[in-house]
Chains A and B, each alone.
Chain A
Amino acid sequence: MGHGKSPYLRYADPEPFPILNKHSHYDHLFEEMHELEEKGEILVFRITEENKPVEVFTRTGRIKTIPTAKLWHHKSCGQCGNIPGYPASIFWFMNKFGYDYLNEPHQTSCTAWNYHGSGTSNPVALAAVWLRNMHQAWKTGYYPLIHCGTSFGSYKETREQLIFNKELRDAVKPILKKLGRLTEDGRIVIPQEVVHYSEWVHAVRHKIKELYEKEGKAKGIDVSNVRVAIHNACHTWKMMADDYPYDPEVYNGQRPAASTAVVKALGAQVVDYSTWYDCCGFGFRHILTEREFTRSFAIQRKLKVIAEEIKADLIVTHDTGCTTTFEKNQWIGKAHGMYHPVAVMSDVMFAALACGAHPFKIVQLYWNCSNYEPLLEKMGITNWKELRKEWEDTVKHIAELEKQGKYDELMEFFKEYDLYEPYSKTSDGFKRRRSASADMPLFKS
Chain B
Amino acid sequence: MEGHPYGYNIPISEKTKEVPWEEKVRVYEEVKSDFRFKEFLFGCLNCGVCTASCPSNRFFDYSPREIVQRFLEEDVEVIYDMMHEYIWACSQCFTCWIRCPFVNNPGGLVIIMREVAVRNAFEATKDLLKPYGRVLLKVMTTGNQLSADMLQPDFFPDWGPKMQDNMENIRAKRMAIPFDVGKSVKTAWEVSLETAIEMYTIWRETGIFEMLEKLDPNLYNVIMDIVEENEERWEELMEEEEEE
Tell me, yes or no, whether A104 is within 8 Å of chain B by CB. Answer: yes
Residues of chain A with a CB closer than 8 A to B212's CB: 120
Tell me, yes or no, whether B224 is within 8 Å of chain A by CB. Answer: no
A251 CB, nearest partner CB in chain B, Å: 16
Tell me, yes or no, whether B44 is within 8 Å of chain A by CB. Answer: no
Contact A420 B179 (CB under 8 A): yes
Tell me, yes or no, whether B114 is within 8 Å of chain A by CB. Answer: yes
The bracket for how many chain B residues form the interface is: 35 or more
Q: Mark A257-299, 1 if CB is under 8 A from B, else 0.
A: 0000000000000000000011101111110110101011100
Q: Would you list which residues of chain A between 336 and 392 have a CB under 8 Å from chain B? A: 361-362, 364, 366-369, 391
Residues of chain A with a CB closer than 8 A to B159's CB: 328-329, 331-332, 369
Contact A418 B178 (CB under 8 A): yes
Contact B118 A120 (CB under 8 A): yes
Contact of A239 among B94, B139, B191 (CB under 8 A): B94
The answer for the CA separation of A442 and B226 in the assembled complex, in Å, is 11
A77 CB, nearest partner CB in chain B, Å: 4
The answer for the CA separation of A235 and B97 in the assembled complex, in Å, is 11
- Closest-by-CB residue of A relative to B168 is A395
Contact of B114 among A119, A329, A368, A435 (CB under 8 A): A119
B166 CB, nearest partner CB in chain A, Å: 6
Task: With A81-B188, A366-B173, A420-B179 as known contacts, state yes or no: A161 contacts B145, CB within 8 Å.
Answer: no
Residues of chain A with a CB closer than 8 A to B232's CB: none
Contact of B97 among A108, A239, A297 (CB under 8 A): A239
Number of A-B contacts (CB under 8 A): 289
Q: Which of B2-10, B64-72, B197-205 contacts A (4 or more CB under 8 A)?
A: B197-205
Q: Would you list which residues of chain B between 105 and 150 have a CB under 8 Å from chain A? A: 111, 114-115, 117-118, 125, 129, 131-132, 135-136, 139, 142-148, 150
Q: Mark A84-101, 1 if CB is under 8 A from B, else 0.
A: 100110010000000000
Task: With A77-B188, A124-B206, A417-B178 as known contacts, state yes or no: A395 contacts B169, CB within 8 Å.
Answer: yes
B123 CB, nearest partner CB in chain A, Å: 15
The answer for the CA separation of A398 and B170 in the assembled complex, in Å, is 11
Contact of B118 among A109, A119, A178, A394 (CB under 8 A): A119
Tell me, yes or no, whether A122 is within 8 Å of chain B by CB. Answer: yes
Contact of A118 among B55, B56, B132, B174 (CB under 8 A): B132
Contact of A105 among B118, B192, B206 (CB under 8 A): B192
Task: With A81-B150, A175-B201 as known contacts, state yes or no: A442 contacts B230, CB within 8 Å.
Answer: yes
Q: Choose among B55, B150, B237 the residue with the greatest number of A CB atoms under 10 Å from its CB.
A: B55
Residue ranges of B at the interface with A (Cβ–Cβ < 8 Å): 35-36, 53, 55-56, 58-60, 88, 91-95, 97-98, 111, 114-115, 117-118, 125, 129, 131-132, 135-136, 139, 142-148, 150-151, 156, 158-163, 166, 169, 171-196, 198-199, 201-203, 205-208, 211-212, 215, 230, 234, 237-238, 240-241
Residue ranges of A at the interface with B (Cβ–Cβ < 8 Å): 75-82, 84, 87-88, 91, 103-109, 111, 113-125, 128-129, 132, 153, 161, 165, 167-168, 174-175, 178-179, 181, 234-235, 237-239, 241, 277-279, 281-286, 288-289, 291, 293, 295-297, 301, 328-332, 361-362, 364, 366-369, 391, 394-396, 398-399, 402, 410, 417-423, 435-443, 445
Taking A118-B135, A175-B201, A437-B193 as known contacts, 4 extra A-B pairs with beta carbons closer than 8 A to each other, sorted by chain A number, are A105-B192, A234-B93, A437-B234, A443-B187
9 example contacts (A-B, Cβ-Cβ < 8 A) are as follows: A75-B188, A108-B198, A120-B129, A121-B115, A123-B36, A125-B203, A331-B162, A436-B241, A437-B234
